[in-house]
Amino acid sequence: MDASADPQLLEPLDDAAFRRVLVVVAHPDDPEYGTSAAVAEWTSRGVDVGYLLLTAGEAGMQRPPEEAGPLRAEEQRRACEAVGVERLTILDFPDGVLEYGVELRRAVAREIRRFRPDAVIGGAGELLVPWGIDHADHRAAGLATIDAVRDADNRWVFPELLRDEDLSPWGATWLMLTGSRPTNYVEIGEEAERRAVASLAAHEAYLADLPWHPAPEEAIPEMLRAQGSAAGVPRAVAFTVHRLRSGSPSESD
Domain ranges of the chain: 7-246
Measuring CA to CA, which residue among 219, 222, 243 is closest to residue 11? 243
User: What local confidence, expressed as pLDDT, does residue 250 receive?
Assistant: 65
Walk along the chain (253 residues) and give the pLDDT tens digit of each residue.
Answer: 444 445 457 999 999 999 999 999 999 999 999 999 999 999 999 999 999 999 999 999 999 999 999 999 999 999 999 999 999 999 999 999 999 999 999 999 999 999 999 999 999 999 998 889 999 999 999 999 999 999 999 999 999 999 999 999 999 999 999 989 999 999 999 999 999 999 999 999 999 999 999 999 999 999 999 999 999 999 999 999 999 988 666 665 4
User: What local confidence, expressed as pLDDT, does residue 133 receive?
Assistant: 93
Instruction: Return the bridge partners of 21, or none.
Output: 49, 119
Question: What is the CA angle 235-123-18, rounded to 5?
Answer: 60
pTM reported for the whole predicted model = 0.94
Where b means 16+ CB within 10 Å and e means fewer, 177-211 reads bbbbebbbbbbbeeebbbbbbbbbbbbeebbeeee
User: What local confidence, expressed as pLDDT, does residue 253 receive?
Assistant: 47
Tell me the H-state helices in 97-135: 102-115
Beta strand 119-123 pairing with 174-178: parallel
Longest dimension (CA), the chain: 52
Where b means 16+ CB within 10 Å and e means fewer, 43-71 reads beeebbbbbbbbbbbbebbeeebeebbeb
Beta strand 184-187 pairing with 250-251: unpaired
User: What local confidence, expressed as pLDDT, does residue 27 receive?
Assistant: 98
Instruction: Return the bridge partners of 25, or none.
Output: 53
* Alpha-carbon torsion angle 49, 54, 223, 205, nearest 10: 110
Tell me the C-alpha distance between 204 and 201, whole Å: 6
CATH class of 7-246: alpha beta
